[in-house]
């Protein structure tokens, strides 16, 4: 084993500073979930509810990332797989409820959507700035950074949806954005599950090798 630090190894989250930053981001996300889900219910906006679910998923995901820092690759891969499954379920829920809403169209309240989307964007930009120092880490650390960055993009989409609803006086822009967000959830879920499967396979192969050529 080489002494000292190996700079080729990706940052795995093992630092008090990173933990503190992650806890701050978890708090921001949890608060925004409550705000956006309430606003989504009150304004009748599917896009806001989809974004609220995203905040909720991030709170849980970041919490899991915090817990598994420093644990074995197998544990981190299992947690990543669980993240993937939850994203998949969220994507299907948003897709399902959006399709349902297409047949029972109500026009969401554009002003509430717009105000909350701006607030959510501010929360996500804050999260991105808090974490930017650690954007290039292992899969666990990197997934946190990517989620925050994608959320900021999602908020801009909700703001565009609010403008669309206001401009067209229909619910279609809201439903279209909710559909796009559902698709993002599903594609992210697939990517995470593929990566987790690869990591678990690697663990299994290493395990087989270490238990010595029994064949």
Cα 12 → chain centroid: 19
Residue 194 lies in a domain: yes
Residue 37 lies in a domain: yes
Residue 35 lies in a domain: yes
> What confidence tens digit (pLDDT) does each residue in 166-194 have?
999 888 898 888 888 888 888 888 887 88
> What confidence tens digit (pLDDT) does each residue in 144-158 have?
777 777 788 778 888
Backbone angles phi, psi at 137, to 5 degrees: -125, -160
- Integer angstrom CA distances of residue 182 from 69, 134, 178: 29, 27, 6
Asked if the model's pLDDT at residue 10 lies above 80, the reply is no
CA atoms within 13 A on the CB side of 94: 31
pTM above 0.85? no
Domain membership of residue 117 as a residue range: 16-209
Number of domains in the chain: 1
Residue 66 lies in a domain: yes
Asked if the model's pLDDT at residue 90 lies above 60, the reply is yes
Residue 5 lies in a domain: no
In eight-state DSSP terms, residue 14 is -
Residue 1 lies in a domain: no
Residue 60 lies in a domain: yes
Three-point CA angle 126, 132, 135, nearest 5° = 135
pLDDT category, 215, cuts 50, 70, 90?
Answer: low
Residue 4 lies in a domain: no
CATH number at residue 188: 1.20.1510
């Amino acid at each position: 084993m080489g002494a000292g630090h190996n700079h080729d190894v990706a940052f795995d989250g093992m630092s008090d500073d990173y933990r503190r930053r992650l806890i701050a981001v978890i708090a921001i996300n949890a608060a925004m979930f409550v705000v956006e889900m309430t606003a989504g219910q009150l304004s009748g906006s599917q896009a806001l509810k989809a974004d609220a679910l995203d905040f909720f998923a991030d709170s849980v995901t970041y919490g899991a990332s915090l817990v598994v820092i420093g644990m074995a690759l197998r544990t981190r891969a299992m947690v990543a797989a669980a993240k993937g499954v939850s994203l998949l379920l969220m994507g299907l829920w948003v897709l399902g409820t959006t399709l349902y809403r297409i047949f029972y169209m109500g026009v969401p309240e554009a002003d509430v959507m717009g105000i909350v989307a701006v607030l959510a964007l501010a929360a996500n930009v804050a999260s991105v700035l808090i974490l930017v120092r650690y954007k290039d880490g292992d899969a666990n650390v990197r997934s946190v950074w990517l989620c925050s960055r994608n959320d900021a993009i999602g908020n801009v989409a909700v703001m565009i949806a609010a403008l669309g609803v206001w401009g067209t006086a229909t619910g279609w822009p809201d439903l279209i954005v909710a559909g796009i967000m559902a698709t993002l959830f599903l594609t992210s879920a697939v990517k995470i599950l593929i990566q987790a499967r690869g990591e678990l396979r690697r663990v299994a192969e290493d395990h087989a090798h270490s238990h010595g050529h029994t064949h």
